[in-house]
Amino acid sequence: MQKYQPNNMQALRKAMMIAVLSCSFAATVPVSANEGWQNVPLNEETFDLSQANSASFETRDGRDALCIDGEAFLRGVSLANGSVAVDIANNHHRHFANLIFRAASQDDYETAYLRMHKSGQFDAVQYTPHLNGETNWQLFREAQARVDFGETPWITLTVDFADDRARIRVGSDSEQPALETVLTLPAKEGGLGLRTLFEGCFSNFRYTAQSPAWATSDAEPPPSPPAGTIERWSLSDAFPMERWAGISEDLRSSLVWSTAEAEPNGRLLISRYRRKATSGDFERNQLDGVYAGVAIHSPNAQTAAFQFDASDMATVWLNGEALVAFDNSFRAKGPLHRGDFDATKQTVALPLREGRNELVVLVAERANGWGLGGSVQADGTLRIKPLDSD
């Protein structure tokens, strides 16, 4: 067994490596689309292990394996469209075994993964993007599926991706996707890799630059968000928080705003635009906050309905008056509470005055997905604009 353990100097260099490796992702030469499946040797020359907490190259069941806690990025390969596959040791121990694809950097990439302790459950396989060093699975409750991993010692995970779509297959002979999803990062060339939360073992890592056969077919467009969905928000700078005070939170003055675009489904992925002060350490992350706001112009005084959700904690103000606060963070309401995002989950009455109204939401986040989304329903036509462009 060849053991790899980052030393102290490597740990000190870790932050600096991100910028360097962002450049290396962009500089790699794409694999020719005429090539078929390429098998990847499992060794330290092939993988960048600077982001691994621990890693070892072993022989498992007569095959070469990489056992890792953390991330391993494949050197010198960049794909825009294609497929990537790996065999995962199927030991049912609690860990999350990821395939990384379209990595723009070590902080921004797409992942599909198996929750190895959740065989047969509704969330056994999941998709999430990593944005600015943070996973976002709470914001993608539609991107999960039930799969039974069986008792075979190794189980194959395959991701076929083209343009803005991916199909995720589980099992060595499976042609039927377990999950289809719209992707989050731009459809550009990006790196490949492996990732685990808690140690897992991988074998038979392979990829092809050939576009999936379905890539030429017309994809069904994703469903449109409800009428009145807020498509553009103003965001403040992010700031650290010692704690979240709920309805007693202060609405800060003299905020500096910039515009952020929601996704086509109306979901605002805050980590696209703001970086947490601490990330990647899940519930041990410190709490960070950001204000999001819009100006709502109403033709008359009326009560509108704001249907929305935020991840994880939120306080809502209209024209400076606090209306509601809630905590939907992971395990906030019990050990099995996931905190999944649902933009139809909360509804609050907005007593609009005639003319301009300011709606501001403080969104506090520790881990698993920093997001906001909502729609405003009212009589007549409302004009809704970001605060910084109104």
pLDDT at site 174 = 77
Q: Where in the chain is the domain with CATH 2.60.120.560?
A: 2-216
> Per the structure block, which two tokens stand in for 61?
């069941």
**CATH code assigned to 2-216:** 2.60.120.560
What are 69's strand-pairing partners? Answer: 54
pLDDT at site 328 = 82
Does residue 364 contact residue 326 with C-beta atoms inside 8 Å?
no
Positions of the chain with pLDDT lower than 70, given as ranges: 1-35, 218, 279-282, 330-337, 339
pLDDT at site 33 = 40
Q: What is the 3-state secondary structure (H, E, C) of 121-136?
A: CCCCEEEEEEECCEEC
Q: Rounded to an integer, what distance in angstroms lies between the CA atom of residue 273 and that of residue 108?
A: 12
CATH number of 232-389, picked from 2.60.120, 1.10.10, 3.90.920, 2.160.20: 2.60.120
> What's the predicted TM-score (pTM) here?
0.88
Burial class (CB in 10 A: 0-12, 13-18, 19+), 279: buried
pLDDT at site 282 = 65
Tell which residue, 386, 343, 291, has the closest CA to residue 138: 343
Amino acid residing at 20: V
pLDDT at site 2 = 58
Tokens 């959700």 sit on residue: 309
Q: Rounded to an integer, what distance in angstroms lies between the CA atom of residue 385 and that of residue 298?
A: 12
152 Cβ contact partners less than 8 Å away, ≥ 6 residues apart: 90
pLDDT at site 224 = 84
CA dist list (Å): 354 to 81, 216, 222, 322: 51, 50, 35, 19
Tell which residue, 280, 369, 362, has the closest CA to residue 329: 369
Q: Rounded to an integer, what distance in angstroms lies between the CA atom of residue 18 and that of residue 51?
A: 9
pLDDT at site 60 = 96
Amino acid residing at 175: E
Length of the chain in terms of residues written: 390
Measured CA angle at 219 (ends 156, 191), to 5 deg: 45
